[in-house]
Amino acid sequence: MNRTFTTMIVGLLFVCFQSVGQHSITGQIMDGGSDEPLIGANVRLMETNEGTITAADGTFTLDNIADGDYKLLISYVGYKDQNINVTVNGGNQSIGAVSLKESLFLSDQVVISGTRMAEKLTESPATIGVITSKQIEELPSFNPGELLARVKGVDFVRSGVVGTGVNIRGFNSNFNSKNLQVADGRMANLIATGLPLGPLNTQIKEDIERVEVILGPNSALYGPNAHNGLVHIISKDPRTSEGTTIAVGAGNQNLFSVRARHAQVVNDKFSFKLTAEHTQGEEFSFADSVYIDRDGVPGNEGYEEFELDNDFSFNRVEGALYFSPNAGSDIILSSGYSNSTYLAPTNVGRNQIKDWNIFFTHLRYTSENWFAQVYYTSSKTDSTYAIDERTKQYYRGVDSGMTHDEAKGDFSYGSGAIFQDDSKRINGEIQYNNTFGDVEIATGIQYQQDMADSKNTYLLDDSDDLNVYQMGWYGQVQYKFADSWKAVAAFRADNHEIYDFNFVPKFGVVKTVGQGAFRFTYGQGIAAPTILNMYGDLFSGLILGNAQGFTLADGTKVEKQKVEKIQTFEVGYKGQLLPNKLFLDANAYYNISKDFLSPVTVVGVTTERGNTPIDQVQSGYGIYGGLVATYINFGKVNTYGADFGISYYLTDNLSADLNYSYFNYSVDENDVENDFNGDGEVNDLDILVNSPKNKMSLGLNYSSDKWFGTVFMRWVQAYNYYSSYQIASETKPGWTYRGTPIVENARSTDTWNYGPLGGFVNVDIGLGYNITDYMTLSGQVTNLFDSEIREFTASPFIGRLYSAELKFKF
């Protein structure tokens, strides 16, 4: 009994001695404008690098702090960092409520996309552009994609009233899957084609917190589709955006949009948000020409697209439930659905997108050191079709003696015009991150299963199993040394069921100087063949996917398609040249690309696809006799360029932005591997750069408590563009494309060549007024001077667009 008592006394004394000088620091982090608590704000003790994040009520606790003087660094995405001196001396210490101010200056921004960890924009080893919450809030349009035109280094194109798209650093096409779209860490691209969801997305503008755009490859952390760049859309947390928002907008082209969002904090454990949108309107009046050859003789008459429907409509709903089991951790369940009808340009004309449904369910777990997610995505349409092919088939029927009613029905879809989709995808990921002194690590594993199903309309659904698996392991280490230096190393190891194993590294060094930082980055990226590239079956087998390779009639082997590879060397600077006045973001890069993923190309008469006789694969064998167009790898090219962005703050309310980008390439003209079209000469028709050499924009932005507005001017140098059947080029004497002379404002084999893209100066203006704290009226005019602008092939000429929006907040 005495021994037990003695043991207890010794244990209590040990605990007491251990706790001497060990205390806690507590506080609460608030929004300086609304006094709402900020959940997930980072609080870090600079001397020990120990840290935590704030709970649902904005509070935090740092335990086991010894007596001494400390500096706390408090940061939150979109807000200005704050440093607080704290002295711990003989007891627990509270810093009380601390208000963070919304960041006015780019150098204060915190981003997460560059390294998958929160860091200041100036200290990221990647070139990142940010579309802020204020820019989104003050855009008088339902389409936040319009703001991508204001991000430096981005090739922005508008293909109509609703269609917006981006490309980064060259090699654009009408079927570009090399730029990855991510939403809250979830891949937001189509399953079979790999294309970004774009207008098919489920998010509404009012629920977007910010958009981060990475220029250049980021495959080491995000996988093979982050080849040219990454667009990461980050939604609002209901705990920091509580309330109800209703927005009603209208404009020309019969545009009408109504959107609603409600976010509510139920208690300190539960919160939720709900969003909905209905938008409808009419596309610009434009009917592309369709040419039909009869009996092998080119037709001179261009037919308008048959039964063209210019109406568009979008319906979107989303919901999310947030549960905080304890301080610093969240379980988030979200789901979304969209139904879309609109016109979409492709490299073989336009598609009539009809009732295309996207659905997802997303479960996430986040804590200070762990992140895990699993999500399910589905894509479904029964009546989408290729307008060009349906038009040709309709007139074939009329020419053969059919009546209009006979030719326009099922017959008009009989040559493969219809596209149906019932594809599904499952993704999973688990990531661990931690800080050990000056070293930060992050590592994770990702899994993806694609289950593509075209109901045998555009994929080889019957002859191949279209369940495709892939798994990737990624890791990253950041090391801060010598006070102002940071080194970053990252990698990704991917294993894919079809295109096998790939290893992708990335390295970067960042040197902080004053209120800015210099950086050098070396990275690799890969662009993977899509399921369409591997298993496509278009127009009765004229176009076939290349997952297995082909044998030509003369015995020549066409290798199966593999990944395209890129190496990038980049230097840059980001920071304030004049404190709180002048911000510069500049970079220069040099890329080495090889094994291009080609556009669809005719390889010749084939006898086998893989080990299968071609007559058992090609449904139109009786027509084509084994003649196949497919996708291959070819060539090597070096590209280089620079991007410059300058922001000058005349006052806290008025700023000016100037962006300029230069892009060019070099290629070995004596290397036969670069002769894609096999005409014995290496030129622009082989290396499909499809990007302007020079582009520039200038913006003037004003924002105060009552008024806000912008004037934005964009100049794009004229450039030639070739994408499969599509062409937009100046006259090239002596050159032919797909057997037809390249002549501006004349027929190109299948379509009309309207001349180069770009070559315009465009001016947009916007103005808004906060009538009360609860009501805002705003409007904008796009293409103020109604210039004739054509930014994309298979797209209309963009005229003036004007819209007005009334927004209520409760």
pLDDT at 480: 87
Question: Computed from CA positions of residues 89, 93, 99, 105, in that sequence, does the dihedral angle turn out positive or negative?
Answer: positive
- Per-residue CA distances from 514 to 29, 479, 575, 592 (Å): 27, 19, 8, 33
Q: Which residue intervals of the chain bear CATH 2.60.40.10?
A: 22-102
DSSP 455: T
What is the tally of helices (H) and strands (E) in the chain?
Answer: 7, 53
pLDDT at 1: 45
Indicate the SS3 state at residue 84: strand
**Average pLDDT over every residue of 589-606:** 91
In this structure, the strands spanning 127-131 and 255-265 are unpaired
- Return the structure tokens found at 13: 């004394």
pLDDT at 427: 96
- Return the structure tokens found at 295: 């009996």
Residue 251: its H or E element:
strand 243-251
pLDDT at 765: 97
**Average pLDDT over every residue of 633-660:** 94
Q: Which of 306, 288, 308 is nearest to 404 (CA)?
A: 306
Q: Could you tell me what percent of the chain has a pLDDT over 90?
A: 60
DSSP string, 641-677: EEEEEEEEESSSSEEEEEEEEEEEEE--TT-GGG-TT
Identify the architecture of domain 110-719+757-789+803-809 in CATH.
Answer: Beta Barrel (2.40)
Tell me the pLDDT tens digit for each residue of 239-275.
989 999 999 999 999 999 999 999 999 998 999 999 9
Cα separation, 221 vs 212, whole angstroms: 15
Residue 230 has pLDDT above 90, yes or no: no
DSSP string, 680-703: S--STTTS---S-SEEEEEEEEEE
Residue 558 has pLDDT above 90, yes or no: yes
Confidence at 17, pLDDT banded by 50, 70, 90 = very low
User: In which order are the strands placed within the sheet that holds 82-88?
Assistant: 51-53, 42-45, 68-75, 82-88
Tell me the pLDDT tens digit for each residue of 83-103.
888 888 878 888 888 988 776
Residue 462 vs residue 390, higher pLDDT: 390
pLDDT at 16: 43
The partner residues of 122 in beta bridges, in order of sequence, read: none
Q: Quickly count: other Cβ atoms within 10 Å of residue 755's Cβ.
A: 18
| Entry pTM | 0.88
- Return the structure tokens found at 745: 């404002």
Q: Quickly count: other Cβ atoms within 10 Å of residue 60's Cβ.
A: 24
Strands, E assignment, 437-563: 439-451, 467-481, 485-496, 500-513, 516-527, 537-538, 543-544, 550-552, 557-558
Cα separation, 494 vs 351, whole angstroms: 33
- Per-residue CA distances from 441 to 117, 429, 477, 483, 650 (Å): 9, 16, 5, 18, 40
The partner residues of 727 in beta bridges, in order of sequence, read: 722
Residue 106 has pLDDT above 70, yes or no: no
Among 44-48, 390-394, 594-598, 735-739, whose mean pLDDT is lowest? 44-48
Cα separation, 331 vs 534, whole angstroms: 37
Residue 379 has pLDDT above 90, yes or no: yes
pLDDT at 630: 93
Among 65-79, 394-408, 530-544, 614-628, whose mean pLDDT is lowest? 65-79
Q: Which residue intervals of the chain bear CATH 2.40.170.20?
A: 110-719+757-789+803-809
Cα separation, 753 vs 742, whole angstroms: 8
Q: Amino acid identity, residue 48? A: T
Q: Which of 126, 136, 116, 133 is nearest to 229 (CA)?
A: 126
Cα separation, 275 vs 263, whole angstroms: 9
Cα separation, 359 vs 379, whole angstroms: 7
Residue 280: its H or E element:
strand 270-282
pLDDT at 59: 87
pLDDT at 445: 95
Query: What average pLDDT does the structure give for the chain?
Result: 89
Tell me the pLDDT tens digit for each residue of 134-154.
899 999 999 999 999 999 999
Cα separation, 729 vs 571, whole angstroms: 33
Confidence at 114, pLDDT banded by 50, 70, 90 = low
Tell me the pLDDT tens digit for each residue of 183-215.
999 999 999 999 999 999 999 999 999 998 988
Residue 23 has pLDDT above 90, yes or no: no
Confidence at 123, pLDDT banded by 50, 70, 90 = confident
Identify the architecture of domain 22-102 in CATH.
Answer: Sandwich (2.60)
Cα separation, 129 vs 141, whole angstroms: 21
Residue 283 has pLDDT above 90, yes or no: yes
Among 98-107, 162-171, 432-441, 783-792, whose mean pLDDT is lowest? 98-107
Residue 663 has pLDDT above 80, yes or no: yes
Q: % helix / strand / coil in the chain, to the nearest 5?
A: 10, 55, 35
**Average pLDDT over every residue of 428-443:** 90
Tell me the pLDDT tens digit for each residue of 667-703.
999 888 888 888 888 888 888 899 999 999 999 999 9
- Per-residue CA distances from 31 to 97, 130, 208 (Å): 10, 20, 18
Residue 712 has pLDDT above 50, yes or no: yes
Confidence at 19, pLDDT banded by 50, 70, 90 = very low
